Structure 1
Amino acid sequence: MDPRPAHYTSATHEVVVIALVCMGQFLSQVGVTMILSTMNILIHSFASNSSEIDQSKTVWFMGSFALTVGTFILLSGRLGDLFGLKLVFCIGWFWTAIWSLVCGLSVFSNSVTFFIVSRAFQGIGFALVLPCGMGILGNTYPNGPRKNLAFGCVGANGPTGATIGALMAAVIGQKSWWPWEFWILAIVSGLIGLLSVFMIPSNLNPNKYTLREAWDKLDVIGSLVGIVGLILFNFVWNQGPVVGWSTPYIIALLIVSVLFIVLFFYLQLNVLEHPLLPKSIFTVKIGLVLAIVCLGWGSFGVWQYYYWKIMLNLRQYTPIMTSLTYIPFLVFGIMASMIVSFIISRTKPSYIICFSAICFTAGCLMLSVTPVHQSYFQLTMGQMFILCWAMDMSFPAASIILSDYLPASSQGMAGSLVATVINYGVSLFLGISSTVEIETSEHSTTLQSYRSALYFGTGVAVLGVVFSVVFII
């Protein structure tokens, strides 16, 4: 093992900093599954009769959070590189605490729309935390086994956070009052923010900009164009199934979003002096890595959403029972993370990403053919074992590849790119799969419409496998 970096004063200091960064990945997954386990409880809470609220709006419970996490990460990595990774990391935790509190208070508004908007603002906090956390590790560790171990620990917190978040929210929602799941998250986020102020090293950024210099280098125009384009494009795919694709504003916004995205890339490549995305990322290799991660995690978002819908609505499991089925994620995830940390330092990242893409495909395919009343200990539990490998492998492998490709001044951007494509892919492909479900539900049973959406998710994952093979070649 290579020596401890000079940024850390002791082994305890190093462990605490890694733990703080890991909590970003852990709680971002908590933010996803806490909604999935209680989505039926939330629907009943905001309406005396659940039929008064269109059930298709439940896609926004998860989609709005993933949308802002994926979109604003594009900017937050740049903010970390310019204004300081530690500063933006701490602000992200306090922002998360505030909007988690508001999410819980939305119960008094009796408005599901206000809750969905609050969830979107909550996601911005994690958008600030995730890339800056990865940038902190990228800047403190040189390439080597110690860096691989640190990144592997972060990846392991995906399945762990998903399990704990689902179970915690299910117990609170079913046995107590659902706002407390958000208030607890607010308290924890605030405490992590305070601890980060004192424990995260301050001298991380290689470039020391004054406030004026940092503002001049911040791509404000490009950021606004990119954020607006990505939000509108994602909004269309999530809102289209709710209001219908023939609605005029859906068609108009789809066209506008595509134009904004095209304009964003034109500005980045040809016009702006300090683009949001460094030109060094516009390579075939980096493009393939980002596409593989986006497709793999996009299919996982589809799997995750319809897994909960099948268990809650078709198998008639309670939220707590369904959450307990996630326990293998916790066990297998810890086992996989230990092995992955060992494998990463001895295997080419290209092979690891390819294997993770295959695992994403297998998990989605297995759920699409699992009989509703089959024992949990057959195909259902098998999916957990396979998917924890996909989650634990794809995130650290992609982060290491980008961290190695990009210069030290863009380490925050390296973390932001991986987190962007993961969360944006989850939200985007979830919206498209919801369209598939709704369009097929008119002529099929509920199970068949769920499976149609899962077939789409499987196709997305297969495309990721194809790209991973091309990347190896």
Structure 2
Amino acid sequence: MPLSTERKGNPELPSKASSSSPDFEAAQPSKGDYVYPADIYSMPRRILFIATVSMSMYINQLGLCNTLTTLKIIGDSFGISNPGQLSWLIAGYSLTIGTFILLGGRLGDEYGNKKMFVLGMSWLFLWSLVAGLSVYSNHVLFIFARVFQGLGPALTLPNALGIFGKYFSEGPRNMAFAWFAAAAPFGAMTGLIFGALFSMAWWPWIFWSEAVGVAFVAAFAAWIIPDMPVQEEQVRPLRQKLDRLDLPGGAAGVTALVLFNFAWNQAVVVTWREPYVYVCLILSFVFGALFFYIEIYRARHPILPVAAFTSDIAFVFACTAAGWATFGIWLFYVVRIALDIGGQTPIQLAAWFTPILITGVVSALTVGKIISKVPASYIMVVGQVAYLVTSILMALRPPESIYWTYFFFGTIIATVGMDTSLPAAIIIFASVVPRQYQGMGASIVMTIVNYSISLGLGFAGTIEININHGGHTQADLLYGYRGALWFSVGLTGLGTVLSLILLKNHRKQKSNQSKSEEDMPEKVEKHQS
């Protein structure tokens, strides 16, 4: 790409070298080279740029956790206490994020990551207002508002990672991804603290305050994120752009994901005795098969490039899904035990989770620093083992135990799992996806993360209601909660086994590579002789 084209969209890039300079020829990037505009930003501007884009992860976690400890307060205002209906307040938000992220990433690749980022923030602003206003209506509107809120992060998350992938070269990009992951614990803590504080006054302010903050981020992002210059091959007619969006594949995939997730989460509310739950589950498999058929055999520009997936990517995919489903179950049921049985208050719980600020940031930034030196397969093993240990700790935790035993150590270890596995997975996917499709590569990771949280809650909720004898006593409630937590132990145990297989495969490949390099001189000598 000519440097003058880059300057047109990025005035901060250095001017061309003089044509009389002997180094002029060498200074010009070739047609296939790319210039990464954020690499030359001053440090203050780079900080603002990374912080603004990372707000997508911050706000995503804030939106998840601001309802976590206030479920009962919100439910009481609507007159609902069914655990299945309450879980939809969390699962519905993650469902739409996980379901529509693939489309959000592809839209960003075709129409501009910045445009989709700002649009996602604006959408989230609107439905945050509606979530608060639902206090004047009923719980159905509130659940719909939560579901539609999720479409905002479905646009912002993949396009934030796409922006980092296109604006930074590999070294700075890894650290940008690390800061993106490090924003998660800050968002979670903000949600826990302000959710609890506003619920003490009037819970709608949880969402109205979120709307105010999101509106500010949208306006600031429109200013601080520069427009990337459009390349010649990206200037296409509308019909060709629609073709590249893979609308048939996207529609089949979204339908399959929604129906599968709805079946499992709705079964917690109405049980599996309702025929429409089975129908939704069966239809999800039908649409899932149709999706893979379209992607593999029909789509000229598949929304999910299945053919590009290696066995290592598949293992990373499975490990990430197991780990984040475990994290969603762990977070939801640890809070339920503390509030419903242990007698803790939302404010007290927010204080109990404060260690995640330190361990989360340290873990994420450590991964960003060492990822170029330590194979990601080792980091995946660390993350899965951390999930396994914290799940066992919380499944065994007596509700009356003091904070400094199970809860303190479990929280620290859980954050290590979350903030090592996420940046590792993002960096792995980003490294194998072409630059122009960074949004799509990032969307795959965030689809796994958010969809797994929602689906894991559906699985765990089904187990809970089938073993808690109706939950009429605290002993029954605890039995159901622990059943869900032991399910998470099994899930992350599977993830640990898969991560060890990934590590074994990586070491085997490395050994074979070293052996072939050692044999190369001998082969050269024989050939010459």
Q: Could you say which TM-score interval applies, normalised by the shorter chain?
A: over 0.9
CA–CA distance in structure 1, aligned partners of residues 81 and 436 of structure 2: 48
CA–CA distance in structure 2, aligned partners of residues 171 and 68 of structure 1: 27
Larger RCO, structure (CA 8 Å, separation 6 or more) = 1
Task: Indicate the residue corresponding to 1:180 in structure 2.
Answer: 205
CA–CA distance in structure 1, aligned partners of residues 244 and 366 of structure 2: 41
Q: Which runs of 5+ in 2 are unaligned?
A: 1-34, 506-529
TM-score normalised to the size of structure 1?
0.95
Deviations 1:148-203 (A, max 9, x none): 211111111122211121111001102x1111111111111111111111111211
Q: Does 1:200 align with 2:231?
A: no
Of 233-242 and 326-335, the range deviating more from structure 2? 326-335
Residue 214 (structure 2) aligned to one of 164, 189, 194: 189
CA–CA distance in structure 1, aligned partners of residues 312 and 43 of structure 2: 36
Of 330-339 and 449-458, the range deviating more from structure 2? 330-339
Task: Indicate the residue corresponding to 1:446 in structure 2.
Answer: 477
Task: Indicate the residue corresponding to 1:463 in structure 2.
Answer: 494
Q: How does 1:334-349 map to 2 (within 5 A)?
A: 334-349=361-376
Q: Does 1:89 align with 2:121?
A: no
Q: Does 1:275 align with 2:302?
A: yes
Q: Secondary structure at the match of 1:376?
A: coil
Q: How does 1:30-429 map to 2 (within 5 A)?
A: 30-47=62-79, 52-109=80-137, 111-144=138-171, 146-174=172-200, 176-203=201-228, 207-210=233-236, 212=238, 213-429=240-456
CA–CA distance in structure 2, aligned partners of residues 117 and 354 of structure 1: 38
Q: Secondary structure at the match of 1:14?
A: helix
Contact 2:72 2:81 in 1 (8 A): no
Q: Secondary structure at the match of 1:273?
A: coil
CA–CA distance in structure 2, aligned partners of residues 96 and 281 of structure 1: 33
Task: Indicate the residue corresponding to 2:43 in structure 1.
Answer: 11
Give the partner amino acid of 2:223: F
Of 431-440 and 193-202, the range deviating more from structure 2? 193-202
CA–CA distance in structure 2, aligned partners of residues 369 and 205 of structure 1: 56
Contact 1:82 1:209 in 2 (8 A): no
Distance change >3 Å, CA 281–CA 67, structure 1 → 2: farther
Deviations 1:242-292 (A, max 9, x none): 101011111111101111111101110011222211245432221211111
CA–CA distance in structure 2, aligned partners of residues 87 and 329 of structure 1: 32
CA–CA distance in structure 2, aligned partners of residues 289 and 197 of structure 1: 34
Q: Secondary structure at the match of 1:210?
A: coil
Deviations 1:88-129 (A, max 9, x none): 1110110111111111111110x1121111101000000000
| Aligned-residue offset at 1:471 | 1.4
Deviations 1:380-439 (A, max 9, x none): 100111011111111111111011111112110111011000000000011000000000
Of 268-277 and 229-238, the range deviating more from structure 2? 268-277
Q: Secondary structure at the match of 1:36?
A: coil
| Aligned-residue offset at 1:216 | 2.5
Of 192-201 and 278-287, the range deviating more from structure 2? 278-287
Residue 52 (structure 2) aligned to one of 9, 20, 24: 20
Contact 1:158 1:391 in 2 (8 A): no
Q: Secondary structure at the match of 1:371?
A: coil
| Aligned-residue offset at 1:211 | 5.3
TM-score normalised to the size of structure 2?
0.85
Q: Secondary structure at the match of 2:323?
A: helix
Give the partner amino acid of 1:95: W
Deviations 1:321-374 (A, max 9, x none): 111111111232233334333332331111111110111111111100011111
Distance change >3 Å, CA 84–CA 239, structure 1 → 2: same
| Largest Rg, 1 or 2 | 2
Q: Secondary structure at the match of 1:315?
A: coil
Contact 1:85 1:205 in 2 (8 A): no
Q: Secondary structure at the match of 2:130?
A: helix
Q: Secondary structure at the match of 1:327?
A: coil
Contact 2:268 2:462 in 1 (8 A): yes
Give the partner amino acid of 1:26: Y
Give the partner amino acid of 1:458: V
Q: Secondary structure at the match of 1:245?
A: coil
Kindly report the root-mean-square deviation, in angstroms, between the aligned alpha carbons of the 2 structures: 1.6
Of 386-395 and 270-279, the range deviating more from structure 2? 270-279
CA–CA distance in structure 2, aligned partners of residues 284 and 471 of structure 1: 9
Give the partner amino acid of 1:439: N
